[in-house]
Structure 1
C-alpha cells in the first residue's frame, strides 16, 4: 500500500480541523444531554465510516476491509474505556458541565501517545518480524485476563497513581470551574480536575497496550493503524455522554471483548500457518460484538438510565463565590502581563 506524504498531511489537517470545530462548539461549559451526544456520535461515526469508504475506493477492497476491521476493534474496546471514565468521574464527583473539557484534553493526549506507540510498533515489526508473535501472545493473555475479571470494576480511590499525585502535587478539594490550576495563599495548587485528567490519560495509555496490537493483527500498514485509531478515538467524548448512564446494561460486553482479543491474537499466532482473510476477521469481530451487545440489552431489558456509582476518592465540592473571586486576580495579572508584553 503506497501512501503519499500528502495523504498523511491531509488526514492530520482534517483531524486538527475537527478538533478545532469540537472545541469551538463546546467552548462554554454546559451539561451535554443525550440528544446532543447522539448527534455528535452520529457525526463522528459517519466521519469514520466515510473515511473508510475513501480508503476502499482509493486503495482497494483489501485496504478498506483492513481499515474497517481496525476501526471496529478500536471502537469496541473504546466502550470499555468509556465505562472506566464514568467510574472515575463518579469517584471524583466531577460536575457534568466540566467533563467535556477533561475528555477533550484526554483525547488529544491519546492521539499523541497512540501516534508514538504506532510509530514504535511499526518500526519494531519492520525490523523484528517476530514481534508480531509477542503482540499475539499479549492479546491472548489480555483476553483471558479480561474474561477472568469480567465482573470486577476499577477503583479510582485505590489508585497508586492518585496516591503519588496527592503526595507530590498540592491539591484543593474544590472545583474552580474548568480550571486545572489555581493560586491559593500565594502558591499554585491543582484542582481535582487535574487529578482526573491524569487518571483519564493514564487509563487510555493502558488501553492502548491492548488496542494497538489488536489492530496490528489485521494490518501492519501504519497509515491504516493510525487512522483507524484516530477516527475511533475522536468520537469517544460523544460516546461517553451517550452511554455513561447505560453502563449497567452492557453486562456481557467484557465477555465479547475478551473473545475479540483472543480471536485476533490466535489469528496473529497462526499467521505463518493459516492466512485468514481480512473479510473473515471483520465478520467474526462484528458478529462477536453484535451478539455481546444484543445479549446484554436483552438480559437487562426494561432497565433505564441511571447514574454510575463509585466509592468516593475524596470529599470534593464546587468552590463558592468568595473562593472563586479570590482566584480572579491571578487571571487579571496574567492578562495585564500579556498586554504589557
Structure 2
C-alpha cells in the first residue's frame, strides 16, 4: 500500500509539473511562473493540512484501512469547495481591490502564529473541545463504534451516522479553515482564476499519496512549519508592497518561495543538534 501511494503521489507531482510546463509553453513565462508559485504555495500549505488529518485519524482511532476512503471523499469535496471559494475570492477582489489588504493581514497573522507556536503537542491531541468537532456533533448523533467503512449504519431499527462520517466532516471543514490561508496566499501571486484553481487542484490531488509520506516522516520535517510561516509572511508582505507601488515580479516570488521551502526541508534533514553548527 505504501508503494502504491508513493507511486500515486509521484504521478500527481509529475502531472502537475507537466501541466505547468504546458501553461508555460502555451500561456507564456508570466503565467507559467504564476502557476508554479501557486502550486508550491498550495503544496506546502497542504502538508500542514495533512498534519491535521493525521491528528484527526489518531484521535478518533480511525482504522488505517478506512482512512483511504475518508481521504478520497475529502479530496473530492475539497476540489469542489476550493472552486467555489476561488471564484468568489477573485470576484470580490476584482470588485473591491483593497480587500487584498485583509488577505495580507490574514497571511501575516497566520505567519506570526506559526512562528510563535509552541511545541506542546500533548495539548493539541485532545479534540473533544475542538470547535469543528463540537459543531459536527451538534448537527447529528454518532455511534460510538465503526461499522466497517460505512458512513451510516442501522441501530435499533434507526439509521444513524458512524464515527467515520464524523471524521470525514471534521476533515472537510478543517480544509475549509485551511483555505482561509491558502487561497489568499495564491491570490497574492495571481488573480487569474484558471491559474489559481489549477495550481490548487494539482496540489490537492497529490494529498492522498503524500499522506503516507507525511505520516511516516512528519517528525523529521521539524522545520517545515516554520518555512511555511516565512512563506506566508513573504506573500503577505508582497501584497502590502504592491499597494505601496513596489512590484515584486512573479519569477522572483517563485524563487523566494522555492528557496524558503528548500531551506526548511534541508534544515529538517540535518541530524538533530547540527543545524546550528
1:276 aligned residue (248, 256, 267) = 248
Q: Show CA shifts across 1:11-63 (max 9, x none).
A: xxxxxxxxxxxxxxxxxxxxx32x11211111000011111011001000110
Question: What is the aligned length?
Answer: 269
* Aligned residue in 1 for 2:35: 67
**1:129 offset after TM fit, Å?**
1.1
1:49 aligns with 2:25: no
The whole-number CA distance in structure 2 between the counterparts of 1:161 and 1:224 is 30
Distance 1:73-1:177 versus aligned 2 partners, 3 A rule: same
Contact 2:188 2:236 in 1 (8 A): yes
SS at match of 2:160: strand
* Aligned residue in 2 for 1:157: 128
1:223 aligns with 2:194: yes
The whole-number CA distance in structure 2 between the counterparts of 1:238 and 1:91 is 21
Misfit runs of 4+, over 4 Å: none
**1:150 offset after TM fit, Å?**
5.2
The equivalences for 1:41-190 within 5 A come to 41-149=9-117, 151-153=119-121, 154-155=124-125, 156-190=127-161
Q: Show CA shifts across 1:123-144 (max 9, x none).
A: 1111111111111121111111
Contact 2:78 2:175 in 1 (8 A): yes
Structure 1: stretches of 5+ with no match in the other structure = 1-31, 302-341
The whole-number CA distance in structure 2 between the counterparts of 1:37 and 1:224 is 26
Distance 1:217-1:197 versus aligned 2 partners, 3 A rule: same
Rg larger in structure: 1
The whole-number CA distance in structure 2 between the counterparts of 1:248 and 1:240 is 13
Contact 2:151 2:163 in 1 (8 A): yes
The equivalences for 1:223-242 within 5 A come to 223-242=194-213
* Aligned residue in 2 for 1:296: 268
Contact 1:136 1:268 in 2 (8 A): yes
Q: TM-score, normalised by structure 1?
A: 0.76
**1:166 offset after TM fit, Å?**
3.3
SS at match of 1:274: coil
**1:242 offset after TM fit, Å?**
1.9
Q: Structure with the greater relative contact order (CA < 8 A, sep ≥ 6): 1 or 2? A: 2
Contact 2:132 2:174 in 1 (8 A): no
**1:167 offset after TM fit, Å?**
4.5
**1:163 offset after TM fit, Å?**
2.9
The whole-number CA distance in structure 1 between the counterparts of 2:194 and 2:102 is 22
The whole-number CA distance in structure 2 between the counterparts of 1:164 and 1:213 is 25
The whole-number CA distance in structure 2 between the counterparts of 1:67 and 1:284 is 15
- The CA RMSD over aligned residues, in Å, is 1.4
